[in-house]
Amino acid sequence: MLAFLLNEPAADDVERELRDPNQTAWISAINLAEVVDVMERIYARSPSATLESLMLLETGGLRVAHVDGDIGVQAGALHARHYDRNKSALSMADCVALATASVLGEPLATADPALAAVATASGTTVVPLPDTRGRRPS
């Protein structure tokens, strides 16, 4: 979502995923909170302006997934098993995104190589997005 809002290299890929009428794109409530935080704290964009930009994409079906106990437990377990400060610096928000995709049975769109590797290893399909330099995770 940040790539789309900041017009980074993945913006077109993200918009295409969000506008696809054949699928519903999901964001967890925690990951939405992270987007709002970054946009306000770093880019001085109000939460309402951020939400307005994201809601323009509802044509493809952007939905917010509530983080329940199943997602929380799975996210905690993923973080405990895969976090390593030097080799795999997954944030808890990364693990929430992966757990949400896993519980919903949906693919995970990411530019983060560590997150993509854990997603693939845990059986979740990855939609590889370009990072700020245009490189996609393998």
The answer to whether residues 86 and 58 belong to one domain is no
Bridging pattern class, strands 63-65 and 26-28 = parallel
Q: Report whether pLDDT(60) > 60.
A: no
CA–CA gap between residue 134 and residue 105 (Å, rounded): 27
The answer to whether residues 98 and 123 belong to one domain is yes
The answer to whether residues 80 and 56 belong to one domain is no
How many domains are contained in the chain?
2
Where would I find the H helices in the chain? 2-5, 11-19, 29-41, 47-55, 69-82, 92-104, 113-121
Query: Lowest-pLDDT range, 20-24, 56-60, 133-137?
Result: 56-60
Direct distance between the N- and C-terminal alpha carbons of the chain, in angstroms, rounded to an integer: 20
Q: Report whether pLDDT(76) > 70.
A: yes
The answer to whether residues 13 and 61 belong to one domain is yes
Confidence of residue 52 (pLDDT cuts 50, 70, 90): confident
Q: Report pTM.
A: 0.90
